[in-house]
Amino acid sequence: MQKSKVLDLTNIYSKHEKIAKEVANNEYKIYTPYMVKKYKSTFKVLNKLTNNRDHTLYIMYGKVKKWYGSEKKLNVSMEKIHVKTKLGSYLSGGCGIGASLLTNLTASGMFAYSTQYIKNFGPLSLICYVFVITCFGITVLCREDDQVEMYNMFLEVLNELDGKRQE
C-alpha cells in the first residue's frame, strides 16, 4: 500500500515536471518592474533635457506605450493586477508606507519631547526636530507622489492597450 502511494506521487511529480518544462518561462513574466527601472532612468534624463516636467510626462507616456506595445507575450490583465496592487498602498490609505512612518515618527517624537525632554533640551532642539521631520516629510511625499504618477501612467497605457486588443 505504501509503495503504491510513493509510486503514484513520483508519477505525479514527473508528469508535472514535464508540463513545467514545456511551458515557456516568459509566459508568466510580469514586465512592470522592468518598466519601472526604465521609466525612472529615462525620466531623469528627459527631465534634465527638457526642463519642463509636463513635457517630459507627455514624452514618457509615449515611451511607456511603446515599451508595453513591443512586448510580444504581454498579459495585460496580470500587468493591470500588478500595477493596481502597487497603487493600492497609496490610494487606500491616502499615503504609502513612508508617509505613515513619517506620521508615526512625528507623533511619537513630539509626544516624547513634550513630556520628558522639554526641560533638558529647550526650544532650540524642538525647532531642529521639527525642521528635520518637515524636510524628511517633504522628501517622502514627493517620492510617493512620483510613484503614484508613474503607476497611474502605466495603468492608463495598459487600459488603452487592452481596449485596442479587444477591438
Q: What is the mean pLDDT of the chain?
A: 77
What pTM, to 2 d.p., does this model score? Answer: 0.68
Rounded to whole angstroms, how far apart are CA atoms 43 and 46?
5
Q: What is the pLDDT of residue 129?
A: 75
Q: Cβ(66)–Cβ(31) under 8 Å?
A: no
Amino acid at 7: L
Residue 152 has pLDDT above 70, yes or no: yes
For 48-76, what is each residue's pLDDT tens digit? 999 999 999 999 999 999 999 898 888 88
- What percent of the chain has a predicted confidence (pLDDT) above 70? 68
Q: What is the pLDDT of residue 162?
A: 86
Q: What is the pLDDT of residue 91?
A: 64
Amino acid at 114: S
For residue 122, being part of any structural domain is answered with: yes
DSSP 42-110: HHHHHHHHH--HHHHHHHHHHHHHHHHHH-TT--HHHHHHHHHHHHHHHHSSSS-HHHHHHHHHHHHHH
Residue 24 has pLDDT above 60, yes or no: no
**Average pLDDT value for residue range 81-95:** 75
For residue 59, being part of any structural domain is answered with: yes
For residue 78, being part of any structural domain is answered with: yes
- Structural domain including 151 reads 29-166
Q: What is the pLDDT of residue 117?
A: 61
For residue 161, being part of any structural domain is answered with: yes
For residue 23, being part of any structural domain is answered with: no
Number of domains in the chain: 1
**Average pLDDT value for residue range 27-38:** 86
